[in-house]
Amino acid sequence: MDGTLWIDVTVAEQVRAILALNTHRDVQDLTMSDKIADLGLDSLGVVELIFALEEAFEISVPFNANDPEKSPFALTTVGALVEAVEGLIAAR
């Protein structure tokens, strides 16, 4: 072996971990039904979350920070966020 540590984690686990870091919460406390709006992210926090997801998954998130309601990227619940990231990964 070359000393590389391989950890097999799901996209959902990774998204939840990134979200936990950005919201200063325990990852175990985040459920798929939690609403993103209830996690305390301000507009800058949302942008930082988007950048973190793009970097972690090597994706480009179609998010309009000026009008997030019209964005095709789902930021409603943790589960919707996971599905949106999975969709962008599949579309690469």
Distance CA 14, CA 19 (A): 9
Model confidence at 7: pLDDT above 80:
no
Binning pLDDT at 50, 70 and 90, where does residue 5 land? low
Residue 31: both structure tokens together: 């459920």
Model confidence at 45: pLDDT above 80:
yes
Q: List pLDDT tens digits, range 46-85.
A: 999 999 999 999 999 987 766 767 777 778 899 999 999 9
3-state secondary structure 31-85: CCCCEHHHHCCCHHHHHHHHHHHHHHHCCCCCCCCCCHHHCCCCCCEHHHHHHHH
